[in-house]
């Protein structure tokens, strides 16, 4: 199964300026989070951010925050507990007409856009906020893709333990380049050169 840009959403978890100095491999992790967000915006993939207790930890790094469509401030470690799923799966409008009036094959197709069921997740700390958010997204029937080189914790051991648990729970573990090239699919994509430049 490959990622499809038109079915994807990107969630960037807690890349907060006051937290990042304590994070293992923080410069690489933040750079990859920014690359993902830039690629997502080029390919019309919605980008959401989260911030854990921003009154204490501050906001997300400015270069990443500027790329988010919306940012969810939270106190719970899992962003799902604070309503993230409602952002990712907005309520659908009622079906037009009387459902019993025509056989299904004669009904007009709905104008409702296809649900974006693939959630690409990256961020910090992998073993706390990202893990709890991703596990609850899986429970909410999203397909969850965790971008390993855009995630970290204060220690490598905690980060890696989270990856093991996420894989066991059914999340797909991927890298930034895997996500970007699966969203593109082809060197003939109109955004190929612009997006490729982000990872060179």
pTM flag (> 0.85): yes
- CA neighbor of 52 nearest in space, from 86, 76, 24: 76
pLDDT digits (tens, 9 = 90+) for 13-42: 999 999 999 999 999 999 999 999 999 999
Classify domain 5-88+114-199 at the CATH superfamily level.
Isochorismatase-like (3.40.50.850)
Nearest to 16 by CA among 125, 107, 166: 125
pLDDT tens digits for 123-156? 999 999 999 999 999 999 999 999 999 999 999 9
Residue boundaries of the structural domains of the chain: 5-88+114-199
* Banded pLDDT at 105 (limits 50, 70, 90): low
CA angle 113, 83, 28 (to 5 degrees): 85
Residue 163: closest CA among 182, 150, 181, 176: 150
pLDDT tens digits, 154-168: 999 999 999 999 999
Residue with tokens 């930034």: 176
Q: How far apart are CA 32 and CA 175, in angstroms?
A: 9
Tokens of 88: 């990712």
Residue owning tokens 């890298």? 175
CB–CB of 65/34 below 8 Å?
Answer: no
**Residues recorded for the chain:** 200
> Of 89, 62, 60, which is closest to residue 74 (Cα–Cα)?
60
Report pLDDT for 111.
Answer: 44
Burial of 171 (0-12, 13-18, 19+ CB in 10 A): buried
């Amino acid at each position: 199964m490959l990622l499809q840009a038109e079915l994807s959403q990107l969630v960037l978890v807690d890349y907060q300026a006051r937290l990042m100095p304590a994070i293992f491999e923080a410069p690489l992790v933040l750079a990859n989070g920014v690359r993902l967000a830039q690629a997502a915006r080029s390919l019309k993939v919605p980008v959401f951010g989260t911030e854990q207790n921003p009154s204490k930890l501050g906001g997300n790094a400015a270069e990443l925050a500027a790329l988010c469509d919306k940012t969810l401030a939270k106190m719970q470690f899992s962003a799902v507990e604070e309503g993230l799923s409602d952002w990712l799966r907005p309520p659908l409008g009622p079906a037009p007409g009387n459902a019993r009036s025509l056989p299904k094959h004669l009904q007009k197709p709905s104008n409702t856009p296809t649900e974006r069921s693939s959630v690409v997740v990256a961020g910090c700390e992998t073993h706390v906020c990202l893990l709890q958010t991703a596990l609850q997204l899986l429970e909410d029937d999203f397909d969850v893709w965790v971008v390993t080189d855009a995630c970290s914790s204060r220690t490598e051991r905690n980060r890696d333990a989270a990856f093991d648990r996420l894989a066991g729970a059914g999340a797909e573990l991927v890298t930034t380049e895997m996500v970007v090239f699966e969203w593109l699919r082809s060197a003939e994509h109109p955004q190929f050169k612009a997006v490729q430049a982000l990872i060179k």
